[in-house]
Amino acid sequence: MTEVETTDSDSHKIRRSVFATTHWSVVLAIGDAKTTCAQAALSRLCQSYWYPLYAYVRRRGYIPQDAEDLTQEFFARLFRNETLSGFSREGGRFRSFLLKSMSHFLTDEWRRARVQKRGGGQIISLDVASAECRYGIEPVDTHTPETLYDRAWALVLLDTVFHRLRNEYARAGKVALFEEIKFCLTGQRNAIPYAELASRINQPENTLKTQVHRLRQRYRELLREEVAQLVASPTEVEEELRSLFRAMS
Amino acid sequence: MDSKKTCQHCGKIVGPEAIEGLCPDCLMKVGLGIGTEVSVAASPGKRAFAPPTLAELANKFPQFEILAFIGQGGMGAVYKVRQRQLDRVVALKILPPGIGEDPAFADRFAREARAMAKLNHPGIVTIYDFGQADGLYYFIMELVDGVNLRLLMQNGRVSPREALAIVPQICDALQYAHDKGIVHRDIKPENILLDRQGRVKVADFGLAKLVGRMNEAGIDGVTTDTSDLTKAGKVMGTPNYMAPEQMEHPGKVDHRADIYSLGVVFYQMLTGELPPKPWQPPSRKVQIDVRLDEVVLQALEKEPERRYQQAGEVKTAIESIAAERPAAGSGNAEHFQPRWWSVFVAGFLTVLLLEFGALALMKPEPSGRLLALLAGGVALIIFLLARKRLLKVFLAGLVVAFFLWLGVAGATTGALPPGAAALVIAVTLVATFVFARKKLRSSLGSIHQNLAFSHGFLPCFVIVFLVVFGSSWLITFILPESFSSTARIKVERDQTNIRGMAEQSFGGSYDPYLIQTEFEVIHSEVILGQVAQDLDLNKEWGKKFANAEILKTTETISLIKNRMELRPVRNTSLIEIRVYSDRPQEAALIANKIARVYQLYRNEQPVPGSSSVHVEITDRAIPGLRAVRPNKPLNLAIGALAGLLLGTAGGAVVSGYESRKKRNLIKD
């Protein structure tokens, strides 16, 4: 598993694990979080997607200190198999499962009205400082905790996929090309100024078109692959993508 | 970095959350394939396709007099033009310019256009001609002087009457095209035009297939699949109206996708909104006929197999609803369909009568229950296998009645523990409601209506109820009562130890073979004959049953056997002797006598072979206080239930008949 640390804008770093080759369906099939493979699978999933949870907790009204403790405790419980009795019922999607579990967890914690630091070390490494920076820039008014969670999740997803894509190009020795054409990943194809671009990077226009086409194609495939790992069955991939899309707008 | 940058494609602000400077929303759109459609609303700044001006067009098409620009959609721009030669006013549709870059496109275009041109139907916008002029692909089509459905719906919803007038026409058009093997793939309000006479014209048939792949596939020029005009992974058409299978496997779509889209449009016409994710039947939102819900629901089925298979079926369904709507001020009155209700009730009653008969006429023995159990089981199996709807409903009635009976009878006779009986009843009722709630709601709704409207219902209901309930009362009190008494005996082997002394074995072990053999003995003529003699039953029963003739012993013995039951108590060495009689004292007397006679017999006659058998009377029989048969509460309950249901059914039939007589055409 390779990890890539990159700098986004000047203010924060976020660690990404690029090879999230684990499957939520595997975890579901195993059914028991305490086995080693399930643990490995879960920890890789959670390591990638913890930030949306953290943002959710924060939006629920907890101060950073408490949010951190709660998130850690939640993961600890998750790995001790305490929260997972409901997960086969929740079935399909890791994202909704995680959200529901967290929301139940928070309700329990609220009832107990205490937030303690539990022992036992950290299961997932949470880079709280950067998370706080990132949280600080989330739009304030329009989001409920749930929509914020979904939106953060979508962003993490896109981010992960983007970096996977880049790594593929890097391994093929085509980093420079990637950097030049990466902006072609957005917008409509007709809007891409092929002629201009072709002359800039010194390539025939037709070859360029093929490459852009391949880039967008591969991006879509990777996106679906990544989503497939977070749902229980392949038929749910499109539905999940559409939900995320709706969450973003 | 300038954090106030805006995305050039969607206009949103691209903040620090951007992914390497790219706008996340656009990234997502590309990932989904949604943003690849030319859509005016999403790109305020840059349009992928700027329609040519009238002057430009005039240059390219000298054979036409360009009159006006009509509009622009996802599939191109439309102009009103006059064909000079023919002197007729038609519509000219220009496809977006980028489309033509793929050399293979010309072939596809021609092929598709020819297919579309073969569609000659009053409900479909006719294609007159097609071609290519200076890099621009175009169609000449029928000009429709009117509006599209989108405009009509902009004021909210369409009235049910209008919707019911529009949709069948769309069905006709779709059916015609499907018969010719052409699927529209992009049925949406913008594509449904209405002329000034209210005639429907469906436009852009087949265009989605042709145009949809142009945005991705054609540009590198190396795609070779000319046979399959669709490519997996491409999202074509408008997402809101697309069938689920169209989004997942765009290549495997058939005509049923159009039926789905039609369902969405229908829904939107009726309610003014798109069907929301937790699906809400239209009748809950607006005042319309509840049966339209079913039509919409079936059109919107996720799996194509479960939808209407032909557009013509949708039309038939709608027209039959439209024809049967009675005139009523609120517009909500429904024509009651007595058929399925009465079938259900008939099935229910058949089982009830079966059980009733079994209880009343036969002994309360396992054989009666077994028969009922078999009947229920068979009904269940046939129900699961049945295809025809009416048969299914009939059997559903059987099954429900059976399980209800099981619960009620089990509880009152003690065959089932009350908890289990309650559970069975509860589960049956819940299952019935869950599976039939749709039907129940519509039928209950109509019953409610009919109670208000029809005069026939109430008197019929009351009469039938009284008749049925009354007769069950009568029968209950006519049937002779019988009481039961039970004596209990313990039958064990004496254990002899090595010193030869008899020792009793305490509890724990018991010998089932011993119990079995002793059963035979207790049933035997030796014992029963002795009982008959001791109690002088020959004479007594002779008086009762045989006109004062003295019975023969064999006859008496068989009478006793009919009235007695032997039952082992599980896991113990106890045997219960139960006797039935129409007099409680007699029952107790006989039971105790049998026990005593047997005990004496065993004490004198040890079992040949090994150790002797010890018989002890642990419980003497006492006269029963309540009659065991007939089960009065059960019978009365059955009678009441049957009365209710029959009354409802009868009343419903009557009022259905009445409202059918009052049938009117739609008036608004």
Give DSSP secondary structure letters for A46-70. Answer: HHHHHHHHHHHHHHTT--HHHHHHH
Q: Which of A154, A220, A248 sits opposite B33 (nearest CB)?
A: A220
Contacts with A216 from chain B: Cβ below 8 Å: 30, 216
Domain boundary among B266, B290, B324: B324
Based on the fold, state whether residues B204 and B353 are members of the same structural domain: no
Based on the fold, state whether residues B469 and B535 are members of the same structural domain: no
Give the model's pLDDT for residue B349.
66
3 state SS of B364: coil
Stretch B498-515: mean pLDDT, rounded? 52
CA neighbor of B91 nearest in space, from B139, B155, B43: B139
Based on the fold, state whether residues B342 and B451 are members of the same structural domain: yes
Based on the fold, state whether residues B200 and B291 are members of the same structural domain: yes
Q: Which residue has the higher pLDDT, B236 or B145?
A: B145
Give the model's pLDDT for residue B216.
41
Distance of CA B127 to the CA centre of its chain: 43
Stretch B274-287: mean pLDDT, rounded? 74
Give the model's pLDDT for residue B236.
44
Lowest-confidence pick of A119-123, B148-152, B343-347: A119-123
Give the model's pLDDT for residue B633.
72
Q: Does B500 touch chain A (CB under 8 A)?
A: no
Based on the fold, state whether residues B109 and B239 are members of the same structural domain: no
pLDDT at B212 over 70: no
Contact B25 A9 (CB under 8 A): no
Give the model's pLDDT for residue B232.
35
Range 227-286 of B in CB contact (< 8 A) with A: 233, 239, 247-248
Q: Which residue has the higher pLDDT, B277 or B53?
A: B53
Give the model's pLDDT for residue A123.
61
- The per-residue b/e assignment along B332-341, b for 16 or more CB within 10 angstroms, e otherwise, is ebbbbbbebb
Based on the fold, state whether residues B433 and B346 are members of the same structural domain: yes
Q: Which of B102, B186, B258, B293 is catalytic?
A: B186
Element (H, E) at A17: strand A13-17
Q: Least CA distance to B3: which residue of chain A?
A: A9
Lowest-confidence pick of B11-20, B33-42, B276-285, B340-349: B33-42
Reported as a single tens digit per residue, the pLDDT across B389-443 is: 556 666 667 677 777 776 666 666 555 566 666 777 777 777 777 766 666 555 5
Contact B29 A245 (CB under 8 A): yes
Based on the fold, state whether residues B348 and B319 are members of the same structural domain: no
Contact (Cβ atoms closer than 8 angstroms) between residue B529 and residue B557: yes
Rounded to whole angstroms, how far apart are CA atoms A220 and B572?
Answer: 73
Based on the fold, state whether residues B131 and B172 are members of the same structural domain: no
Reported as a single tens digit per residue, the pLDDT across B241-250 is: 888 888 777 7
Give the model's pLDDT for residue B168.
92
Q: Cβ contacts of residue B120 below 8 Å, gap of 6+?
A: B126
Q: What is the mean pLDDT of each run of 10 residues along chain A (249 residues)?
A: 37 29 55 63 79 86 82 81 53 77 80 52 68 71 78 89 89 85 77 79 82 87 84 76 80
Contacts with A244 from chain B: Cβ below 8 Å: 28
Per the structure, the count of domains in chain B is: 5
Contact A189 B219 (CB under 8 A): yes
The residues on A that touch B, with CB distances below 8 Å, are 8-11, 134, 137-138, 154-155, 158-159, 161-162, 182-183, 185-191, 206, 209-210, 213, 216-217, 219-220, 223, 235, 238, 241-242, 244-245, 248-249
Based on the fold, state whether residues B356 and B260 are members of the same structural domain: no
pLDDT at B262 over 70: yes
Contact (Cβ atoms closer than 8 angstroms) between residue B653 and residue B342: yes
Rounded to whole angstroms, how far apart are CA atoms A135 and A60?
Answer: 13
Provide the residue ranges of all domains of chain A, joining segments of one domain with +: 3-248
Based on the fold, state whether residues B357 and B414 are members of the same structural domain: yes
Q: Which residue has the higher pLDDT, B589 or B641?
A: B589
Give the model's pLDDT for residue B665.
33
Rounded to whole angstroms, how far apart are CA atoms B40 and B38?
Answer: 7
Lowest-confidence pick of B122-126, B175-179, B337-341, B619-623: B337-341
Give the model's pLDDT for residue B301.
87
Stretch B562-571: mean pLDDT, rounded? 84
CATH of the domain at B598: 3.30.70.1130
Q: Which of A11, A138, A186 sits opposite B30 (nearest CB)?
A: A186
Contact A210 B222 (CB under 8 A): yes
Q: Least CA distance to A219: which residue of chain B?
A: B31
Contact (Cβ atoms closer than 8 angstroms) between residue B286 and residue B233: no
Known catalytic residue: B293? no
Stretch B132-154: mean pLDDT, rounded? 84
Count Cα atoms within 13 angstroms, Cβ side, for B320: 9
Contacts with B21 from chain A: Cβ below 8 Å: 183
Q: Least CA distance to B215: which residue of chain A?
A: A189
Based on the fold, state whether residues B416 and B492 are members of the same structural domain: no
Contacts with B25 from chain A: Cβ below 8 Å: 248-249
Query: Does the residue B598 lie in any domain?
Result: yes
Range 193-222 of B in CB contact (< 8 A) with A: 215-216, 219-222
Q: Does B41 touch chain A (CB under 8 A)?
A: no
Contacts with A10 from chain B: Cβ below 8 Å: 1
Lowest-confidence pick of B410-424, B524-538, B613-627: B410-424
Give the model's pLDDT for residue B590.
92
Based on the fold, state whether residues B464 and B377 are members of the same structural domain: yes
CATH of the domain at B318: 1.10.510.10
Best residue in A138, A190, A249 to probe B by mutation, most B CBs within 10 Å?
Answer: A190
Rounded to whole angstroms, how far apart are CA atoms A123 and A71?
Answer: 10
Copy the structure tokens of residue B63. 């054979």
Contact B31 A158 (CB under 8 A): yes
ipTM: 0.72
- The per-residue b/e assignment along A185-223, b for 16 or more CB within 10 angstroms, e otherwise, is bbbbbbebebeebbeeeebeeeebbebbbebbeebbebb
Query: Does the residue B437 lie in any domain?
Result: yes
Contact B32 A242 (CB under 8 A): yes
Q: Which residue has the higher pLDDT, A76 or B477?
A: A76
Å from B316 to nearest chain A CA?
A: 33
Give the model's pLDDT for residue B380.
62
Contact A155 B46 (CB under 8 A): no
3 state SS of B77: strand
Contacts with A9 from chain B: Cβ below 8 Å: 1, 3, 16
pLDDT at B94 over 70: yes
Rounded to whole angstroms, how far apart are CA atoms B303 and B266?
Answer: 18
Contact (Cβ atoms closer than 8 angstroms) between residue B551 and residue B542: yes
Contact B49 A213 (CB under 8 A): no
Contact A244 B28 (CB under 8 A): yes
Lowest-confidence pick of A148-152, B502-506, B570-574: B502-506
Å from B15 to nearest chain A CA?
A: 9
Question: Which range of residues forms the domain containing residue B190?
Answer: 146-216+232-324
Contact B19 A162 (CB under 8 A): yes
Å from B296 to nearest chain A CA?
A: 22
Query: Would you put residue A81 in left (φ > 0), alpha (ψ -120 to 50) or beta?
Result: left
